[in-house]
Structure 1
Amino acid sequence: MTRRALLGGGATLAAGAWLGALLPHALVGAAHAATDAPVAKDGPKRVIVAGGALTEIVYALGAQNRVIANDLTSLYPEAATRLPKIGYLRSLSAEGVLSLHPDLLLAGAEAGPPNVLSQIAAAGVTVQHFKHGYTAELVRDNIRGVANAMKLNDEGVRVAGRFMSDWIQARGKVEEMYGIQKRPRVLFILGHTGNQVMVAGQDTAADAMLAYAGAENALRGFNGYRPLTAEAAVAAQPDVLLTTTTGPSPADPATTLLAQPGLANTPAGRARRVVSFDALYLLGFGPRLPQAVAELARRVHTT
């Protein structure tokens, strides 16, 4: 029996049902929007966040009313986009951050430059650094770390526990529904506009997400991202093309991608099997990770 036959209507409906069961937890930040988390007497009152996943964690903790600004990668939830911006997290300005008089800066792994973070700390602002990685355990630790920095230890334990419960459920369902299937070969394309198309190898968020979703990265043997050639695209023989968008995307991702050299001549291109996700949702490794893995698995196995 073919993989597509195995994933007939019943399986698709079941996938939607269990994914839907996870979604209320993903929206926990929105549920907290009208309330404050408990504020410890010695907790920070003026918080700046540099990192989209960290912003999501703050909202999941219900502590968003303490945030006075965030960076340009903080795109979820929608309310976070309306806060003052400190610029792009890799090119922060000490003067810009300090002008807002924060008492805490939550700095993601990519935040910097390092000398700017040192200047901010030297001015008396607590700078809490967070690690880089592609595991659920790291997300759990970051939830606890943000909670501890904001003096919300009990809330951190609660949210981290719920996150790990959702993660175990999502991973179990992916294995149950797709573990016996042929793993689809997926080519992840980071940029699909302009002249430079970048694809993901190993040691990337995309590679990790595909593995969690029971799929195979169609390009391996190198780390990070590299430009895609037409020859490499055809040789990769992907079953599915996966890409990301940031914010509203006026163009159809399939049309844009398949105009790139070589991609239309792949099995995915000929069948127009193109899957697109919001970049922060797919690659952010924040509190929505279980939902993102569940949805990715459903879409790459059934597209």
Structure 2
Amino acid sequence: MKLLNTVLVVAMSAGIFYSCTTSSKEEQKTPQTESEEITDQGPRIVSLHASASEIISALGCEEDLVGTDITSVYPESVKKITKLGHISGITAQGILSLKPTLVVVHKDELSAQLEKQLQEVGVQIEKIEQNYTPEGTIRLISSLGETLDRKEEAQELIAAFNQEMDSLTVTSSNKKVVFIYARGAGTLMVAGKGTPMDALIQLAGAENPCSDFKDFKPLTSESLVKANPDALFFFNSGIESMGGLESLSQIPGYNLINAGKEGHVVSMEGSLVSSFGPRLPKAIRELSNKLSAVQ
């Protein structure tokens, strides 16, 4: 479930070679078309996926990013890049106003209409896949390294990622952890199977008792009491939207579960939890450490 859910004519060549490196070119003696001028200036990348934006930056191509979706907030410098909004509302006109040579987007989040509009003007589209496992992260890094002609950098990033993963010490426990997506007291959703939160909870050695459904569903007091988690898990921004820790008692069923009675609440930065990018080892370690304090 997606939680937060004309064309500018640009003559672009379908045979453009998309490399992150900006190589100098000999001056053309013949007049250049607009697309040739853009190409001569180097690649112009629009990333509509937070994990992709993070990896593109880690591969040394951040200077080629000309636009991102609103969820792309890491590294900090990416926040300064033009934001096109949430993927559900992004238009071809908005993308093409940035004169991109490459658009990176999750394959399940690209509408047929938007794809057609971009293809009609010759923009290369890289449709990525992501599954919430360490192996999925490695595949995504490798794929983007291939697309951006940064294979060597991708292998170095993967090697560092594997080293961090190998250094992790996670002790499995029987602790039940429920992730709640909050946008104020009026919007409370529980993470089920197939979500990055569910995967991260398991990688941190705990259990998600809400695994009998996929994606997210609205929280109810009955379902929360039935799950009876040992800890509740939030984004930092989610707790802030509720009005702080002292306001969590307004969650339906909060005072009837072990987590509520004991005040066992953990929170983490949203992009770290959900990206499943190069920082995944850090996310696992941080959640594992926080849960170790839950007795």
The TM tier, using the shorter chain, reads: 0.7 to 0.9
SS at match of 2:240: coil
RMSD: 2.2
Distance of aligned partners of 1:227 and 1:247 in 2 relative to their CA distance in 1, 3 Å threshold? closer
Instruction: Write the deviation string for residues 39-71 of structure 1: whole angstroms up to 9, x where unpaired.
Output: 467995211111111111011112111111111
Q: Tell me by how many angstroms 1:110 deviates.
A: 4.8
Aligned match of 1:222 in 197, 213, 227? 213
Q: Tell me by how many angstroms 1:120 deviates.
A: 0.9
Q: Which amino acid aligns with 1:103?
A: T
Q: Tell me by how many angstroms 1:239 deviates.
A: 0.7
Q: Which amino acid aligns with 1:76?
A: Y
Which residue number corresponds to residue 229 of structure 2?
Answer: 238
The residue correspondences of 1:109-188 to structure 2 (distance < 5 A) are 109-170=107-168, 173-174=169-170, 178-179=171-172, 182-188=173-179
Q: Which amino acid aligns with 1:299?
A: K
Which residue number corresponds to residue 252 of structure 2?
Answer: 261
Is the 8 Å Cα contact of residues 188 and 241 (structure 1) preserved in structure 2? yes
2:84 aligned with 1:86, yes or no?
yes
Q: Which amino acid aligns with 2:102?
A: L
Q: Tell me by how many angstroms 1:250 deviates.
A: 6.6
Distance 1:118 1:289 in 2: 34
Instruction: Write the deviation string for residues 126-170 of structure 1: whole angstroms up to 9, x where unpaired.
Output: 110101311111111111222222111111111122112222322
The residue correspondences of 1:71-82 to structure 2 (distance < 5 A) are 71-82=69-80
Which residue number corresponds to residue 270 of structure 1?
Answer: 261
Q: Which amino acid aligns with 2:176?
A: R
Distance 1:186 1:250 in 2: 20
Q: Which amino acid aligns with 2:270?
A: A
Q: Tell me by how many angstroms 1:248 deviates.
A: 9.9
SS at match of 1:100: coil
Distance 1:262 1:73 in 2: 31
Distance 1:117 1:168 in 2: 39
Distance 1:266 1:80 in 2: 40
Distance 2:123 2:241 in 1: 41
Taking structure 2 as the reference length, the TM-score comes to 0.81
Judging by fraction of residues, say which structure has more helix.
1
Distance of aligned partners of 1:264 and 1:201 in 2 relative to their CA distance in 1, 3 Å threshold? same
Q: Tell me by how many angstroms 1:258 deviates.
A: 2.4
Q: Which amino acid aligns with 2:253?
A: G
Distance of aligned partners of 1:166 and 1:39 in 2 relative to their CA distance in 1, 3 Å threshold? farther
Q: Which amino acid aligns with 2:127?
A: H
Distance 1:234 1:247 in 2: 20
Is the 8 Å Cα contact of residues 39 and 151 (structure 1) preserved in structure 2? no
Distance 1:200 1:140 in 2: 24
Q: Which amino acid aligns with 1:55?
A: S
Which residue number corresponds to residue 292 of structure 2?
Answer: 301
Distance of aligned partners of 1:244 and 1:106 in 2 relative to their CA distance in 1, 3 Å threshold? same
Distance of aligned partners of 1:278 and 1:222 in 2 relative to their CA distance in 1, 3 Å threshold? same
SS at match of 1:72: coil
Is the 8 Å Cα contact of residues 194 and 214 (structure 2) preserved in structure 1? yes
Which of 1 and 2 has greater Rg?
2
Distance of aligned partners of 1:293 and 1:82 in 2 relative to their CA distance in 1, 3 Å threshold? same
Is the 8 Å Cα contact of residues 89 and 110 (structure 1) preserved in structure 2? no
Q: Which amino acid aligns with 1:141?
A: R
Distance 2:69 2:22 in 1: 23
Aligned match of 2:68 in 57, 70, 73? 70
Q: Which amino acid aligns with 1:275?
A: V
Is the 8 Å Cα contact of residues 189 and 243 (structure 1) preserved in structure 2? yes
Q: Which amino acid aligns with 2:103?
A: L
SS at match of 1:217: coil
